Structure 1
Amino acid sequence: MSTTVVQPQNLPIRTTPILISFLMAGFIGLFNETALNMALGDLIQVFNVSSPTVQWLTTGYLLTLGILVPVSGLLMQWFNTRELFIFSLVFSIIGTTIAALAPSFSVLLLARVIQAIGTGLLLPLMFNTVLLIFPVHKRGATMGLMGLVIMFAPAIGPTISGLIIEHLNWHWIFWVCLPFFTLSLLSGIIYMQNVSTITKPKIDVLSIILSTLGFGGIVYGFSSAGENGWGSTIVMSTIAVGLIALALFSLRQLKMNKPMIDLKILKYPMFTLGLLAVFLTFMVILSSMILLPLYLQAGLGLAAFSAGLVLLPGGVFNGLMSPVTGRLFDKYGPRWLVLPGFIIMIVMLWLLSNVTTETSIIRVIFMHSLLMLGVSMVMMPAQTNGLNQLPKNLYPDGTALMNTLQQVSGAIGTSVAITIMSASQSTYMKSVTNPSDPSKVGASLTAGVQDAFIFGLIIAIIGLMISFFIKSTRVKEL
């Protein structure tokens, strides 16, 4: 039997300090997610591990998020806002400290998992809290600020970490993050308020197991496809187990009176369309984030730090545009942002599918920046509009499912893009007369990147078709 504990609502909610606490913690948490990517080459040498092994620092992080985020909706009904915020920051601080001191690869991997627990608790909590403390007519601008954090932090991660590695060592990537996490925790302790209602629903262990096997299996299967190949037994079996577990999980949720994730949220059409738009856009983002650095380094011959600088303007532009698109969403609704956003993405992905080893860096910066403009016009408006249609009691379920599927779409987009790139690269090398010629390596990778961007182009076209059905949701405040 569930117990309802009503949170004290008589105190005025201090929205600005709460939002600042979340934005600070979210920024440094998501910066941490991509900052280590530039150090992977050094870590292979330092810990004497293989390239597939070192990728577990990223795969393990994504896998933890894929397992934990679906459970976040349940956790938000058992623990109050303040408790979950403090838990998330404590995990982030512990993980970051262990990572900074890590004497071995296994310890560093453990630290990354602990860090991911902190991020996995924080992101759904941040979205859910914003939906609760801001009225509908202000959510676009607020979600825009969150978009600035969510898109800007991962974008500058590789550039700043490249600078750190050039002058210090990989340990300092974590030491730099630690004071910001500590400051976020202190801010949360002082300013964070409880804004949710605790219902303490019954915990269904089987649902948690099926969710873990389902989302975890799919994320792991797709994430490991790049290194093991699609024909690998481990890849096919984990994806199959994931799909079966996910189907059983969905059936169980539909039959339960108090499900772990209430799938009735999918009956709200604008939420479902927003979910699909975000899912497809995140596939484009993550696939582009792995293809462009490879192209810049192998195709154009840039150093890692220089490649990071080339991608920095697009990331900054995306972050700065997110608050603007948020305000435009509040004024005009989603359709006239999402629809042209997908059109811009389609045009830029088409241009990126025609890059060569002679393409100028300025042109790459231009194409990447406009691609990120299209992304900013789709992501937060589609997400906010979809969540706006849900009643308040379904906010935790909506934010949990949306954040979970972003992890899944990221894993799928990345693995499919890498697979297409590798296959096209192999085909190209078979057609050249002298495969041992070093100049052909860059040309072959560029050919692979071209085909992989066509995959992104197809995804964006599907998104454009969906955008025609998106309309504004104006719900009544409860």
Structure 2
Amino acid sequence: MSSTYNKKLITTLLLAGSFIAILNQTLMITAIPPIMNEMNISPNSAQWLTTVFMLVSGIMIPISAFFIEKFTTRQLFIAAMGIFSVGTIVCALAPNFGTLIAGRIIQSAGAGVMLPLMQTVFLLVYPRNKRGAAMGLVGLVISFAPAIGPALSGFIMIHFSWRVLFYIILPIALLSIVISIFKLQNVTDLKNPKVDILSVIFSSFGFGGLLYGFTAVGNYGWSNWLTIMSLSIGIITLCLFIFRQFVLENPMLEFRVFKYKIFTLTTILGMIVFMGLIGSETLIPLYMQDMRSFTPFEAGLAILPGALVSGFMSPITGKIFDKVGARWLSIIGLAIIMVTTIPFSFLNEVTSFAYITIFFAIRMFGLSMVMMPTTTAGLNELPNHLIPHGTAMTNTMRQVAASIGTAILVTVMTTTSHVATNVSNPDIHGVNVAFMVITITSLIGLIIACFVTNPAHDHHEEDTEITISIEKNPQ
């Protein structure tokens, strides 16, 4: 029989699942110092609690296009949330750092599928002239979830163990699974593609090699054999991965989406902005807790107003995008991001809590004008049959950029602090230099935004509300 989508239910389930999945990217940030003390690990090793989550998600996201075309929406959602739940349990019960990392890897294997699944479904369910508002809800999740993580974990750190961070999200994941079993409809077209094992191997070693290489720089330096080997393996296997995608008849990740100019520009902007977001949310707690003796809760609280601003503004900027497009939104937004990042390059031993909170909140206001409007503009340029690959590509690039970018920023911070001999506080100087890097990348993004235009729609499939055929017993 034919039936229209139950948009409210689909939207609610996917938003809830994606929210807790993305929340886990930064949930561990303010918990890192207590975990370092309990498990006797270095800051660079502890950084893996956040970066490995983003890295594995970045590895899983390219495969998401295959999963979306292979399995029904309900099958994929239940599987992803089930794997995420197993990883959450492993983390909560982890007796040592190795087990905790393993749990984070399992978590991210499920979480990596959620965001591209949500974006693909939203783009197929909503007509083009309403996609901005719908993707604004995605923007709320992308910006609000990672930003609220430090505040939530900081509050919990005051009263409970860091393990409670995992216990509180487990019921939400399990409830989402139960509801989806009975209520979630299928949205995507099934094409039954075959997975290419070599592509999976190449992408895993490529992204993993680069991230480990950049992390090794902070621990061992650029000339260490482990650093050189890791970066070399990462670069070589990534090149092999990209080459293989062009020769495959049905590539795991379709790089030909970059033939579309606006999609390419907006993907680059997404990488720059998300790297700055996750990088800032890593550097600020490190500065406040390790160098200024603020509590974990205070460090998270400094970020919270920005999260509220971004969460409130994302649906609004989505609706504005539906009327005026992405160009001026992204230009104004990136200008705000750049200007409000500069003050973080002048932190010192007496910088006030209000100073940090206010500038970060304004920065997040600018981010809400860039993140999803530019992503939606790029995906709107693609024909419908390329949307699963487009969402997979944008999310892959964004996640990997954040992972590698965060590793580089921490490396810049630690390396600068080690070589700085003529400053009163080398550690704070390292943070300031890292924020200078973010400022420069924001300026590059601003220049790129000037070339973003509203894509023409005449070559796309007709933008109408579509209906689906639902089997009597869909799996």
Match of 1:180 in 2: 172
Q: Deviation string for 1:320-346 (max 9, x for gaps)?
A: 111111111111110110011111111
Given that 2:72 and 2:188 are in contact with CA atoms closer than 8 Å, whether structure 1 keeps it comes out as yes
Distance 1:60 1:420 in 2: 19
What residue number does 1:466 align with?
Answer: 448
Say whether the 8 Å CA contact 1:17–1:192 is kept in structure 2. Answer: yes
Post-superposition Cα deviations, 1:85-137, rounded to whole Å, max 9, x if no partner, equal: 01011111111122223333333222211111110121111111111111111
Other-structure match for 2:437: 455
- Structure 1 residue 369 corresponds to structure 2 residue 368: no
Task: Give distance in 2, aligned partners of 1:453 and 1:280.
Answer: 13
212-221 or 126-135: which moved more?
Answer: 212-221
Give 1:400 deviation, angstroms: 1.1
Question: What stretches of structure 1 of length at least 5 have no aligned partner?
Answer: 1-7, 433-439
Q: 1:416-452, CA deviations, whole angstroms, 9 ceiling, x for partnerless residues? A: 2223223332343x226xxxxxxx4xx3222222222
Letter in 2 for 1:425: S
Match of 2:253 in 1: 261
- Name the aligned partner's letter for residue 37 of structure 1: I
Residue 239 of structure 1 is aligned with which of 224, 231, 236? Answer: 231
Q: 2:75 aligns with which of 83, 86, 91?
A: 83
Q: Tell me the CA shift for residue 474 of structure 1.
A: 4.4
> What is the rounded CA distance, in whole Å, between the counterparts of 2:290 and 2:205 in structure 1?
37
Residue 17 of structure 1 pairs with residue 37 of structure 2: no
Which deviates further from its counterpart, 237-246 or 331-340?
Answer: 237-246
Do the aligned partners of residues 291 and 214 (structure 1) sit closer, same or farther apart at CA in structure 2, a change above 3 Å counting? same
The one-letter code of the counterpart of 1:372 is M
- Alignment correspondent of 2:53: 61
- Over 3 Å counting, the alpha-carbon distance change for 1:103 and 1:296 in structure 2 is closer
> Is 1:229 the counterpart of 2:211 in the alignment?
no
Write the deviation string for residues 14-60 of structure 1: whole angstroms up to 9, x where unpaired.
11110100111111122223222322333334445554444443343
1:147 maps onto 2:139 in alignment: yes
Q: Return 30-39 or 71-80, whichever deviates more.
A: 30-39
| Counterpart secondary structure, 1:132 | helix
**Equivalent pair of 1:140/1:330 in contact (CA under 8 Å):** yes
The 8 Å contact of residues 222 and 411 in structure 1, kept in 2 or not, is answered as no
Q: Distance in 2 between matches of 1:185 and 1:418?
A: 37
2:309 pairs with 310, 314, 317, which one?
A: 317
Aligned equivalents of 2:42 and 2:447: distance in 1? 42
Q: Distance in 1 between matches of 2:297 and 2:81?
A: 30
Counterpart residue identity of residue 422, structure 2: S
Q: For residues 271 and 393 of structure 1, do their structure 2 counterparts lie closer, same or farther at Cα, with a shift above 3 Å needed?
A: same
Selected match of 1:274 from 258, 262, 266:
266
CA distance in 1, matches of 2:264, 2:405: 20
> Secondary structure of the residue that 1:385 maps to in structure 2?
helix
CA deviation vs aligned residue, 1:244-296 (integer Å, no higher than 9, x gap): 22222222222222211111100001100110110111121122112222222
CA distance in 1, matches of 2:47, 2:339: 32
Letter in 1 for 2:445: G
- Find the aligned partners of 2:236 and 2:127 in 1 and give their Cα distance: 39
Determine the structure 2 residue equivalent to 1:435.
none
Output aligned runs, 1:125-140, within 5 Å. 125-140=117-132
Q: Which amino acid aligns with 1:124?
A: P
Q: Is the 8 A contact 1:158 1:308 kept in 2?
A: yes
Work out the CA distance in 2 between the residues paired with 1:27 and 1:66: 17
- Separation in 1 of the partners of 2:418 and 2:102? 35
- Any unmatched runs of 5+ in structure 2? 463-475
> Which of 307, 322, 329 does residue 299 from structure 2 map onto?
307
Amino-acid identity (%): 40
Distance (whole Å) between structure 2 residues aligned to residue 318 and residue 284 of structure 1: 14
Most deviating of 204-213 and 388-397: 204-213
Instruction: Indicate the residue corresponding to 2:209 in structure 1.
Output: 217
Asked if the contact 2:155–2:296 (Cα under 8 Å) also holds between the matched residues in 1, the reply is no
Distance 1:451 1:48, change over 3 A: closer
TM-score by length of 2: 0.92
Secondary structure at the aligned position of 1:77 is classed as helix
C-alpha separation in 2, matches of 1:341 and 1:107? 41
Deviation at 1:196, TM superposition (A): 1.0
